[in-house]
Chains A and B, each alone.
Chain A
C-alpha cells in the first residue's frame, strides 16, 4: 500500500529470520508473525454484530412448500396423513416459542404486527411480547425422511412492511400477499431459525468497579487486572 508498509514487511522478514540463540534450546517464542501483530487501526471496542444477510442462492434446487393457517387446512389436504399434520403443527408452535420475534413492550410488538396480534410470554428475566403464529409452512410432508415445518407471521399494522405478507421468524418476507399459499423455496428458507435472545437488561456486571474505582491511590487505578 504505502512505502512505510513495504519497509515494515522487510523489517518483519528480517526479524523473523535472524533469530538469535540456537533454535533447539531457546527459552523464548520462536516465530511470531510481526505483520499479524501490527495494528494499523485503533482499537475497536464495540462488538460488531453479525448481520444476517439472506441471499437467495442462484441456481439452487427449489422445493414446493405449502402454507396452512390452521391444522384443519393441513388435514384436509392430507387426509391419509393427519398425524403428520399434527406433528408439523406441533413443530411449528415449538419453533415459534424458540425463534419468534420478541419485543420488550406490547406497544412495540403491536406497532409491527397490529392491534391484538401479540401475546405475553413470561421468561426468567421478565415478560416479552411475541406475535401470534399466523400460519405454518410445510414441505415434503409425506417424505419418509425429513419433513420441514416452521412458523410464519403476518402483520395487520399499517406501519409494517410485513403487512398482509408472509414473513419468517428471522424476517424473510415472501412475495405476494397472504392469500398466496404455495411457494417454491430454497433450502435456506426451510432451515430452522436461530434462537432469538431478547436482551432484557444490561449492566448487571461491573457494579463493583463503580463502587471501588473511587480509590485512586494507585497509578494503575483503571485496571482490574493484577
Chain B
C-alpha cells in the first residue's frame, strides 16, 4: 500500500458536472482529490480487507442477535422502549439491508482494525461506486495507469443486484427515496441509489425527510399525498425513533431501507459488545462502555483492563467525529465539540491512522448486504476527528 502522485484528468470538473457530481468541492475545500491515488496489492485487498470485512460483518450480526434478545442491552443501546417491538420485528423478519461501510485502520501490513460501523446512513457512496471507477477507466484508457490496474469496487454492480433482490422480497416496483434538505452531498448519494434502483427496474419517487406527511389513514405520504410504502432513508434511526412521527412508525408499516435493526449495528455501543464477545480478535480494538470502568481510564489502577495508555472516547450516537475526546494516562482532553453524548459514551483503544505524505489515511470498506463490495480511501490532516477529509481513488496492481 502506498500513495502515488498522479496527473488529474483534464477537465474532470466539467465531467463531474455532466454526471451530476456536484459536491467534489465542499465549503471551499477540495473533497474529491485525484492528484494522487493509493495503490494496493491484490493480496492486501483480499486477505487484509475483503475477508476481514465479511467476517466483521458476521460478528456484528451476531451482536445484533444478542441485543434484540436482551432488554438490558436494548436499554444499553438507548433504543427507546416504545420501539423495541419495531426493532425486534425487523430483525426477526430478516428485513433486508442494502449496504454499510466499515471504517478500518490499515497501513498495508498487519491486521486492519475496525474503528466503527456506518451501517445505517453511510455516504461517499457515489464517489466510491461510480466516480472512482470512472477515474480508473479513463486513466487506463489515457495510458496514465497500467492496463492491468484494477480496483476493489464492485459496488454499483452489487447495489443494482441487491435492489433486484429487495424488489423481489417486498414484491415492489416502486420505492420512495428520502434525505434532508440543504445538503447536496446527501441528495447526490440518494440520487445515485435511485439510479441503481432504476437499473434494477424499480421506479423511484423522492421526498425530503422534512416533507414527509402523516395521513388520516395512518400512512406516511409524499408531497403528492401518495402513500410511502417502501422507503430508502438517508436519515439516522436514532433520530427517527425520537421524533414526532416516530410514534406513527408502527401504524405506517413502511418497509424501510436500511431496516430498523440497523439502529443497533450503527450504534457505537456495538464496539464494546464486539470486544466482549470476540475479545482479542485481530481486527478489533479493545472497547468498553465509558461508565463501566471509569476509574480504569481516569486513574492508573495497576490491574485494570486498560493499562492507562491512550483511549478515544466517543458518544453512542454521533456524526462526523463530533464530541470526541482523547484520554491519555487518565487525562481527558476534548478534541471536537458537538451536540451528542446525552445517551452515553464508549471508549476505544487509540490506534493511530497510518500517515502517507503527511496525511492520515482511513479505509472505508463497503458491504452490500453481507458481501464486501469495495473500498474508499479518505485522507485527513487531523489524526482522529476526520474533520476535513478528502477522497482519493485507489488501484490494485
The residues of A with any CB-CB pair to B shorter than 8 Å are: 8, 14-15, 18-21, 26-34, 36-40, 43-50, 102, 121, 123-126, 128, 195-209, 211-212, 214-215, 217-226
When C-beta atoms are compared, the residue in chain B nearest to A211 turns out to be: B339
When C-beta atoms are compared, the residue in chain A nearest to B117 turns out to be: A226
- In angstroms, Cα B227 to Cα A195, docked, is 9
- The smallest C-beta distance from B191 to any residue of chain A, in angstroms, reads 6
Whether B133 pairs with A29 at a CB distance below 8 angstroms is: yes
When C-beta atoms are compared, the residue in chain B nearest to A42 turns out to be: B20
Whether B187 pairs with A45 at a CB distance below 8 angstroms is: yes
Whether B248 pairs with A209 at a CB distance below 8 angstroms is: no
CB-CB nearest 8 A-B residue pairs:
A49-B224, A225-B123, A39-B20, A204-B245, A199-B213, A197-B215, A123-B216, A222-B183
- In B327-344, the 8 Å CB interface with A consists of 336-340
Residue with the highest number of chain B CB atoms closer than 10 Å, among A208, A215, A223: A223
Whether B134 pairs with A34 at a CB distance below 8 angstroms is: yes
- In B9-64, the 8 Å CB interface with A consists of 18-20, 22, 26-27, 29, 42, 45
- In angstroms, Cα B214 to Cα A123, docked, is 11
Cβ 8 A contact of A197, one of B154, B156, B181, B225: B225
Whether B150 pairs with A28 at a CB distance below 8 angstroms is: yes
Whether A218 pairs with B321 at a CB distance below 8 angstroms is: yes
Whether B219 pairs with A197 at a CB distance below 8 angstroms is: yes
Whether A28 pairs with B152 at a CB distance below 8 angstroms is: yes
- The smallest C-beta distance from B192 to any residue of chain A, in angstroms, reads 9
- In angstroms, Cα B229 to Cα A132, docked, is 29
- In B134-191, the 8 Å CB interface with A consists of 134, 136-138, 140-141, 145-157, 179-189, 191
Given the known interface contacts A46-B223, A225-B234, the answer about A200 and B156 at a Cβ–Cβ threshold of 8 Å is: no
- The smallest C-beta distance from B248 to any residue of chain A, in angstroms, reads 7
Contacts of B396 in A (CB 8 A): 27
- The smallest C-beta distance from A198 to any residue of chain B, in angstroms, reads 5
- In angstroms, Cα B137 to Cα A43, docked, is 25
Contacts of B379 in A (CB 8 A): none
When C-beta atoms are compared, the residue in chain A nearest to B372 turns out to be: A27
CB 8 Å contact bits of B224-252 with A (1 = contact, 0 = none): 11110000001110011011110010010
Cβ 8 A contact of B182, one of A19, A44, A222: A222
- In angstroms, Cα B26 to Cα A202, docked, is 30
Cβ 8 A contact of A204, one of B29, B141, B234, B244: B244
- In angstroms, Cα B147 to Cα A204, docked, is 52
> Which size class do B's interface residues fall under?
35 or more
The residues of B with any CB-CB pair to A shorter than 8 Å are: 18-20, 22, 26-27, 29, 42, 45, 101, 118, 120-124, 129-130, 133-134, 136-138, 140-141, 145-157, 179-189, 191, 195, 199, 205-219, 221-227, 234-236, 239-240, 242-245, 248, 251, 266, 319-322, 336-340, 374, 387-389, 396
- In angstroms, Cα B184 to Cα A48, docked, is 19
Cβ 8 A contact of B217, one of A34, A195, A219: A195
Contacts of B389 in A (CB 8 A): 219-220
Whether A225 pairs with B121 at a CB distance below 8 angstroms is: yes
11 A-B residue pairs with Cβ-Cβ distance under 8 Å, sorted by A, are A19-B137, A27-B45, A27-B152, A47-B224, A124-B216, A124-B217, A126-B216, A202-B210, A208-B243, A224-B183, A226-B120
- In angstroms, Cα B133 to Cα A20, docked, is 12
- The smallest C-beta distance from B44 to any residue of chain A, in angstroms, reads 12
Contacts of B118 in A (CB 8 A): 225-226
16 additional contacts, CB 8 Å, given A38-B19, A225-B124, A225-B189? Answer: A27-B154, A49-B225, A121-B216, A123-B216, A123-B218, A125-B248, A126-B216, A197-B227, A200-B215, A205-B209, A206-B180, A212-B339, A212-B340, A223-B319, A224-B121, A224-B236
Contacts of A33 in B (CB 8 A): 199
Given the known interface contacts A205-B243, A223-B320, the answer about A198 and B214 at a Cβ–Cβ threshold of 8 Å is: no
Whether B320 pairs with A226 at a CB distance below 8 angstroms is: yes
Contacts of A220 in B (CB 8 A): 26-27, 185, 320, 389
Whether B122 pairs with A226 at a CB distance below 8 angstroms is: yes
Whether B223 pairs with A200 at a CB distance below 8 angstroms is: no
When C-beta atoms are compared, the residue in chain A nearest to B244 turns out to be: A204
Cβ 8 A contact of B221, one of A43, A102, A197: A197
Whether B224 pairs with A218 at a CB distance below 8 angstroms is: no
Given the known interface contacts A224-B236, A226-B319, the answer about A15 and B137 at a Cβ–Cβ threshold of 8 Å is: yes
Contacts of B188 in A (CB 8 A): 43
- The smallest C-beta distance from B333 to any residue of chain A, in angstroms, reads 16
Residue with the highest number of chain A CB atoms closer than 10 Å, among B45, B149, B319: B319
- In angstroms, Cα B215 to Cα A123, docked, is 9
Whether A29 pairs with B150 at a CB distance below 8 angstroms is: no
Whether B121 pairs with A226 at a CB distance below 8 angstroms is: yes
Contacts of A200 in B (CB 8 A): 213-216
Given the known interface contacts A124-B251, A207-B244, the answer about A29 and B157 at a Cβ–Cβ threshold of 8 Å is: yes
- In angstroms, Cα B157 to Cα A54, docked, is 39
- In angstroms, Cα B155 to Cα A215, docked, is 32
- In angstroms, Cα B151 to Cα A26, docked, is 8
- In angstroms, Cα B208 to Cα A226, docked, is 18
Contacts of B189 in A (CB 8 A): 225
- In angstroms, Cα B387 to Cα A34, docked, is 32
Whether B186 pairs with A222 at a CB distance below 8 angstroms is: yes
Contacts of A15 in B (CB 8 A): 134, 137-138, 141
